[in-house]
Structure 1
Amino acid sequence: MKTIFYSTVVIVMTLFTSCGSLAQNTVDTNKNNYVVLTKKVPQLEPIILTAEALKEEDGSNFGQFEVIICGKEIGDITDSSKMNGFIVRAENVGVKLVACGFSLNKFKVDTTKVPDEMKTVENGILYNLQLQKKGYNSLSL
C-alpha cells in the first residue's frame, strides 16, 4: 500500500514539474510576435526600422521580435564595426539577434567571436519554423 502511495506521489509531482516547464516555453499569443530570417548583416538596418515601427503601431500588443542570421555571410556578425550599432539599436527596441549554428559551423566562423548579446541556435531554419508553429509572423529575406 505504501508503495502505491509513494508511486502516485512521484507520478503527480513529475506531471506538475513537466507542466511548469512547458508553461515557461509558451509564447503570449495575445501579442504580435515576429521572426525574420536574413542572410545579410546590412539588412538589419531596415529590419530594425520595421521593428521600431511595429512596436509603435502595436503598442501594448507588441510581443517578441527575433532576427535569425544565417547563410554564407554569417561571418560578418563577428565584425564589431558592422555589428555594434545594430546590437545597440536592437536591444533598445527589444529585438533579439540570433545566429544560426549550422551556418557558423559550415562556414567555419570562430564562435568565440560571436557577440555575447547574440543567441546561437543549432539550426536557424528549424528555429524559424518552430517559432512559426508558436504563432510568430515570419518573413525571410
Structure 2
Amino acid sequence: MNTKESPDLPTEAEVSLAKESSRLLSLYLSSKEDTQSIRVIDQAGEHDAVRIPTAAFRLLIDVLSEMAQGNAVSMIPVHAELTTQEAADMLNVSRPHLIKLLDSGVIPYHKVGTHRRVRYQKLVDFKNKIDTERFSALEALTAQAQELNMGY
C-alpha cells in the first residue's frame, strides 16, 4: 500500500510505458470471468501464470491509465482512517473548515487520544453527497437561466 503523502509524478519513460501497457492489458480484460490470468517473467526468463481477481486487474489498468496521463497515483483502503489534515486535503478545504464540519456533526469522526480521525469511506460519502447537491443546484440555475433567456 502506498500511503506516501505526495506521490512522485511519473517520468516521461513511465508515462510512455504506462500508455502502452494499459492499452495492451485492456485488450485482455474479460469482465465475464471472476479472475484473470497474467504471466510474469523474471530477469532470468522464467515465467509463471498468476491468477488475480478481475477487480484487481481493472484496478491495475486504471492505475496505468492515470500514469499514462502523467498523474501520480495513491491508494487508500476504504477502511482507512485519515488525519484531519489528510481529510481536509482530500476535500480541498482548510483544516479549520474541516474541524467545523466535524464538530457540527456533518461528517462523523472519532478520537484517538486527543486527535480526530475520519474514516475514508465516511469522507467519500460526504464528498459524493455534496457533489450531488452542487450538481442539482447547477442544473436548477441552468434551467432558470434558460427560462429567463439569459443567453446560455
**Same fold (TM > 0.5):** no
Normalization by structure 1: what TM-score? Answer: 0.24
Greater strand share, structure number: 1
Normalization by structure 2: what TM-score? Answer: 0.23
Higher gyration radius (CA): 2
Question: Of the two structures, which has the highest relative contact order with CA contacts closer than 8 Å and spacing of 6 or more?
Answer: 1
